[in-house]
Amino acid sequence: MSFALRDAGCEVIYLGLRSTPTEMMTVALEEDVDVIGASILSGAHLPIASDLIAERSLHRLEHVPVVVGGIVPPRDVERLLEMGVDEVFPAGTAIADVVKRITALADSRQERP
Amino acid sequence: MSETAQDPTTASGIPIARLYTAADLGDPAALDERIGAPGQPPFTRGPYAEMYRQRLWTMRQYAGYGSAEDTNQRFHYLLGQGQTALSVAFDLPTQLGLDSSAPAARAEVGRVGVAIDTADDMAELFEGLPLGDLSVNFTINATAPIILAFYLVAAERQGADRSQLAGTLQNDILKEFVARKTFIFPPEPSMRLAGDVVEFCTSEVPRFNPISITGYHAREAGCNTVQELAFTMSDAIAYAELLVDRGLSFDAFAPRFSFHFATTLEIFEEVAKLRAARRLWAQIARDRFGATNPEAMRLRFFSGCSGATLTAQQPLNNVVRSTIQCLGAVLGGAQSIHVMGYDEAMAIPTDEAVTLALRTQQIVAHETGVADTVDPLAGSYFVEALTDELEARATELIGVIDGLGGAVPAIEAGVPQRWIAESAYRSEIAVANLTAVKVGVNAHVEEAEATELRLFELDEMARDRQLARLDRHFAGRDDVSDALAALSRAAMSGQNVMEPLIEAARRGATLGELSDVFRKAFGTHREPSLW
């Protein structure tokens, strides 16, 4: 995913496996990122996304979109969006589609004053 | 040979000719020597003379979720459906040395496998299942010594003798650093723990495979067949060198080495790979380690087929994919097989999907006739040529890894990790630009998916039950600090950790406590950022 985003001209700060929501938001704040993304394969996407959204508020980063990808059953996509996740990329999403939707989120963020 | 300007290639980039003939195999006498007879070095044609005529492969569906009690029910169910052995999936906290009560474990308890915190949990997992008669596989690595200790205590409580126990502990930490990623400690002490397990089992649990050297996860993460072969062999060499350096005899420990490969849908390349793997290991055993015991040269393997080839789109297509993979593993001479559930691109499998996966194995075993003769593809111009080519390419790559100082330094430098990432990205691009066809994904796409699957939903109360159980455990046990101190002394001194671990497990020490002893002694590993 990092390779594909870099090929599309994005700067990617990859934190590696098993980063906690707190670590992610700390880096997001320090680096002033445009989009925050998490890949979750274990089925724990609902509680982790809930932590991500809560940590985002704690870090006052509500203006930065959060995206989640991974092994997400169709029934959970809506639940994640309702929680406040901006985009969900379940297994099977074309990589070009992921790049397009993430860059669109980044562009819309940059347009804001 | 080919009539097209550009030959098609296998996924690992080997060009495929239009037609293969005897000319591709070279001198017939040399070919006879390369393939030999089944059950004899170099074992190209199979590890046993009779293969499936004498005994079918072991049907071993990987299973685990929720608490020990939940998974115990699925084990009973699977055995009731005709499965012939068990394979335990552990949740991430268990794999990472965290008790279910640890803050970092919160979201993950019982999700990708069963939560095991204590020897009591292990005993509960096998309630009503006679461990003296069953073969059990454990997909566990960083905490493998602890899980083995729990298992030995559970068996002890059933009255089963250590010497009777059969099964496999994955215990392959190198591929965790490369691909699977549930490491805890730095590479060197991790290797030492893996070595302690093999050393202990060689004398104490002689029917048990104390390590399963695994190319599967690197392959699933995106490497090709040549890399899968080379990583597996280089890792096996690293473990064997460690044990030989301890003064152990290769001929004594290597017969219990087990291996684990993927089988994807490219059936001829997979069969050729599995045949080449046996030949490679026989040569490595003989030439590098001076093996004289044929059993020490004999590669036995499990195939987990391939989850990465399954698609979330048109999921019933995965039944077909899994069937072909299972057939490939059988034609390649597997000793045991797991077939993926068709719903595994979306969730852990339902009972229905697991049953169908088991039925797939049973149909391949009993209705196709494929088990009636040994190595039926031997002598095929194409398969033999591909076997030779894969062997040659893997040998070259093993040489490259040797040149980096072997598997451990190569992994510390992040080299295999980078190769995998590059290969995975190339495969993604091939699907994206339609050079590789994936039915339902980039071809024959259905706008409205016809099938709405009923997916597995974890009982979210399982975690609460496990936490309550752990609370009761802490309240009901005596002080374990001297047992933990004894383990700590062994860890620091270099003494084999297994006996003190077993004693601490008997006394009720938890997985988190035991892992903490090792964390203190060895430190923890954080992956360097490679990209």
Nearest residue of chain B to residue A77 (CA atoms): B346
- Closest Cα in chain A, distance from residue B50 (Å): 41
Per-residue model confidence (pLDDT) at position B408: 96
Residue whose C-alpha is closest to residue B325's, from B431, B367, B441, B317:
B317
DSSP character at residue B178: I
B339 falls within a domain:
yes
Nearest residue of chain A to residue B104 (CA atoms): A20
Among candidates B108, B347, B428 on the partner chain, residue whose Cβ is nearest the Cβ of A71: B347
* Model confidence band, residue A111 (pLDDT cutoffs 50, 70, 90): low
**What confidence tens digit (pLDDT) does each residue in B428-444 have?**
888 888 888 999 999 99
Residue whose C-alpha is closest to residue B191's, from B239, B249, B240:
B239
The b-or-e profile of A7-26 (16+ CB within 10 A means b, else e) is eeeeeeeeeeeeeebeebbe
Q: Which residues contact B155 (CB under 8 A, 6 or more apart)?
A: B131, B132, B162, B165
* Model confidence band, residue B350 (pLDDT cutoffs 50, 70, 90): very high
- Mean pLDDT throughout B235-262? 98
Phi-psi region of A38 (alpha: psi -120 to 50; beta: other; left: phi over 0): beta
Verify whether the Cβ–Cβ distance B107 to A90 is below 8 Å: no
B76 falls within a domain:
yes
Verify whether the Cβ–Cβ distance A91 to B348 is below 8 Å: no
Verify whether the Cβ–Cβ distance A16 to B107 is below 8 Å: no
Report how many domains make up chain B: 1
> Measured between alpha carbons, how far is B405 from B55 in angstroms, rounded to an integer?
41
Per-residue model confidence (pLDDT) at position B495: 97
Verify whether the Cβ–Cβ distance A17 to B458 is below 8 Å: no
A39 phi and psi angles, rounded to 5 deg: -105, 120
- 3-class DSSP string for B323-392: HHHHHHHHHCCCCEECCCCCCCCCCCCCHHHHHHHHHHHHHHHHHCCCCCCCCCCCCCHHHHHHHHHHHH
B346 falls within a domain:
yes
Per-residue model confidence (pLDDT) at position B530: 62
How many residues make up chain B in this entry?
Answer: 531
Verify whether the Cβ–Cβ distance A43 to B455 is below 8 Å: no
Strand partners, A40: A70
* Model confidence band, residue B1 (pLDDT cutoffs 50, 70, 90): very low
Among candidates B312, B313, B531 on the partner chain, residue whose Cβ is nearest the Cβ of A2: B531
B157 falls within a domain:
yes
Structure tokens at A29: 């704040």
Per-residue model confidence (pLDDT) at position B450: 59
Among candidates A14, A18, A73 on the partner chain, residue whose Cβ is nearest the Cβ of B347: A73
* Model confidence band, residue A92 (pLDDT cutoffs 50, 70, 90): confident
Residue type, B256: R
Does A91 touch chain B if contact means CB atoms closer than 8 Å? yes
Among candidates B311, B348, B425 on the partner chain, residue whose Cβ is nearest the Cβ of A92: B311
Verify whether the Cβ–Cβ distance A16 to B345 is below 8 Å: no
Verify whether the Cβ–Cβ distance A43 to B347 is below 8 Å: yes
Tell me whether the omega of the peptide bond preceding residue B42 falls within 30 degrees of 0, making it cis: yes
- Mean pLDDT throughout A67-87? 94
From chain A residues 61-80, the ones with a CB under 8 A of any chain B CB are: 71-75
Among candidates A17, A44, A94 on the partner chain, residue whose Cβ is nearest the Cβ of B108: A44
Verify whether the Cβ–Cβ distance A4 to B425 is below 8 Å: yes
- Most B CBs within 10 Å: which of A13, A18, A40, A48, as the mutation test of the B interface? A18
- Kindly list the residues from chain A whose CB atom is less than 8 angstroms away from the CB atom of residue B527: 16-17
* Model confidence band, residue B97 (pLDDT cutoffs 50, 70, 90): very high
- Kindly list the residues from chain A whose CB atom is less than 8 angstroms away from the CB atom of residue B312: 90-92
- Mean pLDDT throughout B117-146? 98
Residue A112 has pLDDT above 60, yes or no: no
Verify whether the Cβ–Cβ distance B346 to A90 is below 8 Å: yes
> Measured between alpha carbons, how far is B280 from B273 in angstroms, rounded to an integer?
10
B526 falls within a domain:
no
- Which single residue is written with the structure tokens 């350096």? B245
Does A47 touch chain B if contact means CB atoms closer than 8 Å? yes
Residue A85 has pLDDT above 50, yes or no: yes
Nearest residue of chain B to residue A97 (CA atoms): B432
Count Cβ–Cβ pairs < 8 Å, chain A vs chain B: 56
Q: Which residues contact B120 (CB under 8 A, 6 or more apart)?
A: B473, B508
Identify whether the C-beta of residue B304 lies closer than 8 Å to the C-beta of residue B262: yes
- Closest Cα in chain B, distance from residue A61 (Å): 23
- Mean pLDDT throughout B91-113? 96
Verify whether the Cβ–Cβ distance B432 to A3 is below 8 Å: no
Per-residue model confidence (pLDDT) at position B460: 86
Does A60 touch chain B if contact means CB atoms closer than 8 Å? no
Order across the sheet with A87-90: list the strands: A36-40, A66-70, A87-90
Per-residue model confidence (pLDDT) at position B2: 40
* Model confidence band, residue B453 (pLDDT cutoffs 50, 70, 90): confident
Verify whether the Cβ–Cβ distance A92 to B526 is below 8 Å: no
Strand partners, B209: B168
Mean pLDDT of chain A: 92
- Mean pLDDT throughout B437-452? 85
Residue B131 has pLDDT above 90, yes or no: yes
Verify whether the Cβ–Cβ distance A51 to B441 is below 8 Å: no
> Measured between alpha carbons, how far is B11 from B309 in angstroms, rounded to an integer?
12
Identify whether the C-beta of residue B169 lies closer than 8 Å to the C-beta of residue B211: yes
Nearest residue of chain B to residue A51 (CA atoms): B107
B242 falls within a domain:
yes
Which of B115-129, B176-190, B351-365, B419-433 is the least confident region?
A: B419-433
**What confidence tens digit (pLDDT) does each residue in B292-312 have?**
999 999 999 999 999 999 999
> Measured between alpha carbons, how far is B389 from B381 in angstroms, rounded to an integer?
12
- Kindly list the residues from chain A whose CB atom is less than 8 angstroms away from the CB atom of residue B441: 92, 94
Residue B531 has pLDDT above 80, yes or no: no
- Which single residue is written with the structure tokens 């950022």? B529
Structure tokens at B434: 């339609």
DSSP character at residue B443: B
Residue B3 has pLDDT above 50, yes or no: no
Identify whether the C-beta of residue B180 lies closer than 8 Å to the C-beta of residue B149: no
B131 falls within a domain:
yes
- Kindly list the residues from chain A whose CB atom is less than 8 angstroms away from the CB atom of residue B314: none
Identify whether the C-beta of residue B74 lies closer than 8 Å to the C-beta of residue B355: no
The residue range of the domain holding B308 is: 39-432
Residue A93 has pLDDT above 80, yes or no: yes
- Helix-, strand-, coil-residue percentages of chain A, each rounded to 5: 50, 10, 35
Identify whether the C-beta of residue A44 lies closer than 8 Å to the C-beta of residue B108: yes
- Mean pLDDT throughout B378-382? 97
For residue B397, what is the domain's CATH number?
Answer: 3.20.20.240
Does A13 touch chain B if contact means CB atoms closer than 8 Å? no
Verify whether the Cβ–Cβ distance A92 to B527 is below 8 Å: no
- % pLDDT > 90, chain A: 77
**Alpha-carbon separation of residue B459 from A19, A41, B481, B514 (angstroms):** 26, 18, 35, 28
Identify whether the C-beta of residue B104 lies closer than 8 Å to the C-beta of residue B526: no
- Mean pLDDT throughout B215-238? 97
B9 falls within a domain:
no
Give the homologous superfamily in CATH for domain A2-106: Cobalamin-binding domain (3.40.50.280)
Residue B184 has pLDDT above 60, yes or no: yes
Identify whether the C-beta of residue B188 lies closer than 8 Å to the C-beta of residue B173: no
Residue B509 has pLDDT above 90, yes or no: yes
Does A4 touch chain B if contact means CB atoms closer than 8 Å? yes
- Mean pLDDT throughout A17-24? 90
- Mean pLDDT throughout B180-189? 95
Tell me whether the omega of the peptide bond preceding residue B255 falls within 30 degrees of 0, making it cis: no
The pTM of the full predicted model, rounded to 2 decimals, is 0.95
